C-alpha cells in the first residue's frame, strides 16, 4: 500500500494488545539526562536495550521564542544472530522534539500519530519491511 492515501486516526488514544509483559531493568550507570534499560533478557548475547535520553531546552537568540527545543530520545537495540554466526544490531530511534510552549495535549497528539505510523498495518510491509516509498 502506498504511503500517500494511508490513514491514521487524529485525536484517538494509544493502546497495546496481545503479547506478554516484559520488565525494563537498569543496566550500567545513569545520569541526570540518560538511563539505559535492559528489555527482559538475562542472556547478554540476545539482550535488547533501550537508551533513554532527555535534552533540556537552552537559551538561544536564534530560536523562535529564545529557547532551543526540548528533546526526548529512545534508542532501542535488538541483537540478531546471523546465519554466518556473526551478530548484528537492529535499531529503532524515536525522537520527540518540542517547543517549551507545547501543551501536553499537543505532545500526546504527536505521539499518537507516530505510534500509528510505526504500527500501521498498511505501511507495515511496504515501508517498514520493504523500504519502499511507493
Question: What's the pLDDT tens digit per position in 63-118?
Answer: 888 888 999 999 999 999 999 999 999 999 999 999 988 999 999 989 888 888 88
3-state secondary structure labels for all residues of 83-133: CCCCEEEEEEEEEEEECCCCCHHHHHHHHHHHHHHHHCHHHHHHHHHCCCC
* 12-43: pLDDT as tens digits: 777 777 888 888 899 888 898 999 999 987 77
- Helix, strand, or coil here: 60? coil
Per-residue pLDDT at 12: 74
- Other CB atoms within 10 Å distance of the CB of residue 88: 10
The Cβ of residue 42 has, within 10 Å, a number of other Cβ atoms equal to 8
Q: What is the pLDDT of residue 126?
A: 76
pTM above 0.75, yes or no: yes
| Residue 106 and residue 3 in contact, taking contact as beta carbons nearer than 8 Å | no
User: Hey, what domains does the chain have and what are their CATH numbers?
Assistant: 24-123 (3.30.380.10)
Amino acid at each position: 500500500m502506498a504511503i500517500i492515501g494511508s490513514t491514521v486516526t487524529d485525536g484517538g488514544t494509544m493502546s497495546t494488545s496481545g503479547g506478554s509483559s516484559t520488565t525494563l531493568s537498569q543496566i550500567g550507570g545513569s545520569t541526570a539526562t540518560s538511563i539505559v534499560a535492559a528489555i527482559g533478557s538475562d542472556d547478554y548475547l540476545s539482550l535488547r536495550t533501550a537508551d533513554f535520553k532527555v535534552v533540556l531546552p537552552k537559551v538561544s537568540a536564534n530560536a523562535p521564542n529564545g529557547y532551543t527545543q526540548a528533546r526526548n530520545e529512545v534508542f532501542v537495540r535488538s541483537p540478531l544472530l546471523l546465519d554466518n554466526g556473526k551478530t548484528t544490531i537492529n535499531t529503532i530511534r524515536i525522537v520527540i522534539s518540542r517547543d517549551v510552549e507545547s501543551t501536553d495535549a499537543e505532545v500526546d497528539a504527536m505521539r499518537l500519530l507516530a505510534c500509528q505510523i510505526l504500527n500501521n498495518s498498511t505501511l507495515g510491509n511496504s515501508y517498514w519491511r520493504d523500504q519502499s516509498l511507493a
